[in-house]
């Protein structure tokens, strides 16, 4: 199998999904690995490093798409890639398909076999952990007066109190933010809907406050908050918000909201996407940090962790083919977005009102013969019968 690594071209994206170490692993399995020139530079991996690993350097994305059976990168497809997709080609990247109608149209029209990487993680994506940690650091940075904030130092000082931090959601991103905030000496409240998780956090981080996550509890805290870090992945079918624009008037001017989940129309009503070059905007005196690829700022660390988390999927596809790899691993199977012109992604079906077929049916897998993984989201849609 010919495996191609693309250079990510999204503005402000420096990560790669495959370091030279993973390239070497695939080469050892008999795969031909092609790397677009400069694909690893943003994460401090040079073309020469990939050549030493046994890969071949391709001059551009067109060569990757025309040569390779399996094409991968970090972020969603850009419009300039749409016409390069080939029938039967395997695509593995963070497609975010439910929010990308045009992209899904192209995946179906081109009849590729597409996997959305964010749904493949058994233990959560390392991108989430790093996004939570960096999100907290960016919140502390923009709380400084020189960056548009109130001038509050997150750790305080002798005679001056530390910042009051609210972390909403205690998953992988939320606990990442908590680790940094705790180490920096902030006054911390963590909210979640799972009381057991909150009890466990109290034991691990003595002195923090915990509350059940809802708008009423958030409102009660808002007048004294300096930073809100949202780590809740808001269901895309919901039209309500945890923090509304009206609620911003309750916060102190110069306070900061960081939406790690980067959901437009999600938990934070006033959120919209920004870039690393222009990361913040102000609404009603509240600084919003809106970068939607926060982990890209720590591109080397993130790339090493991220590549290690997906390489087993790559190896299985190379060794076993798509059908068997999906049979053996439910987390890979649940991430299948499209298969030869058929939508196979439930959340996308529900959000976009499209018919879909389960990956199990499209692959012809018999019940009881394949591994099981939990659903990636709570969004549901009734599947249709395969018309192959």
Q: Six-digit token pair at 177?
A: 């933010």
Task: Name 178's Cβ contacts closer than 8 Å, sequence gap at least 6.
Answer: 132, 167, 170, 188, 190, 201, 205, 208
**Residue 250 CA from chain centroid, whole number:** 30
Distance CA 344, CA 346 (A): 6
Q: Which of 8, 96, 142, 241 is catalytic?
A: 96
In order of 168, 204, 376, the CA distances from 373 in angstroms are 26, 28, 9
Catalytic (active site) residue 96 = yes
Catalytic (active site) residue 263 = yes
3-state secondary structure labels for all residues of the chain: CEEEECCCCCCCCCCCCCCHHHHHHHHHCCCEEEEECCCCHHHCCCHHHHHHCCCEEECCHHHHHHHCCEEECCCCCCHHHHHHCCCCCEEEECCCHHHCHHHHHHHHHHCCEEEEHHHCCCCCCHHHHHHHHHHHHHHHHHCCHHHCCCCCCCCCECCECCCEEEEECCCHHHHHHHHHHHHCCCEEEEEECCHHHHHHHHHHCCCCEEEECCHHHHHHHHHHCCEEEECCCCCCCCCCCCECCHHHHHCCCCCEEEECCCCCCCCECCCCCECCCCCEEEECCEEEECECCHHHHHHHHHHHHHHHHHHHHHHHHHHHHHHHHHHHCHHHHHCEEEECCEECCHHHHHHHCCCCCCHHHHHCCCCCCCCCCCCCCCCCCCCCCCCC
Say how many Å lie between the first and final Cα of the chain, rounded: 25
Q: Which of 259, 263, 292, 313 is catalytic?
A: 263
Which residues are known catalytic residues? 96, 263
């Amino acid at each position: 199998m010919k495996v191609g690594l693309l250079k990510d071209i999204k503005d402000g994206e420096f990560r790669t999904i495959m370091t030279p170490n993973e390239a070497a692993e695939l080469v050892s399995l008999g795969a031909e690995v092609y790397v677009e020139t400069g694909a690893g530079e943003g994460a401090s991996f040079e073309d020469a490093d990939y050549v030493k690993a046994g890969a071949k350097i391709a001059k551009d994305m067109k060569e990757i798409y025309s040569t390779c059976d399996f094409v991968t990168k970090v972020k969603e497809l850009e419009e300039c890639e749409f016409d390069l997709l080939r029938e039967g080609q395997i695509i593995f990247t963070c497609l975010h398909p439910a929010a990308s109608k045009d992209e899904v149209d192209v995946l179906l029209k081109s009849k590729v076999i597409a996997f959305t990487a964010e749904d493949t993680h058994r233990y959560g994506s390392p991108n989430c952990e790093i996004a939570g940690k960096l999100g907290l650091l960016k919140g502390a940075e923009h709380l400084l007066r020189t960056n548009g904030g109130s001038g509050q130092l997150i750790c305080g000082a002798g005679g001056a109190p530390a910042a009051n931090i609210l972390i909403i959601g205690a998953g992988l991103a939320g606990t990442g933010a908590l680790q940094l905030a705790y180490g920096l000496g902030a006054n911390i409240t963590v909210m979640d809907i799972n009381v057991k998780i909150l009890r466990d956090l109290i034991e691990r981080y003595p002195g923090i406050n915990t509350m059940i996550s809802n708008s009423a509890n958030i409102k009660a805290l808002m007048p004294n908050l300096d930073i809100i870090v949202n780590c809740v992945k808001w269901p895309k079918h919901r039209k309500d918000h945890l923090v509304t624009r009206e609620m911003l008037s309750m916060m102190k001017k110069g306070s900061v909201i960081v939406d790690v989940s980067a959901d437009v129309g999600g938990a934070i009503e006033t959120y919209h996407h920004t870039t690393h070059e222009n990361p913040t905007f102000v609404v009603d005196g509240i600084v919003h940090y809106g970068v939607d690829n926060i982990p890209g700022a720590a591109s080397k660390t993130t790339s090493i962790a991220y590549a290690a988390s997906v390489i087993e999927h790559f190896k299985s596809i190379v060794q076993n083919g798509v059908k068997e790899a999906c049979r053996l691993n439910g987390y890979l199977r649940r991430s299948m977005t499209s298969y030869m012109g058929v939508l196979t992604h439930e959340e996308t079906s529900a959000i976009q009102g499209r018919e879909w077929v389960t990956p199990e049916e499209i692959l012809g897998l018999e019940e009881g013969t394949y591994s099981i993984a939990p659903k990636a989201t709570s969004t549901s849609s009734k599947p249709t019968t395969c018309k192959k």
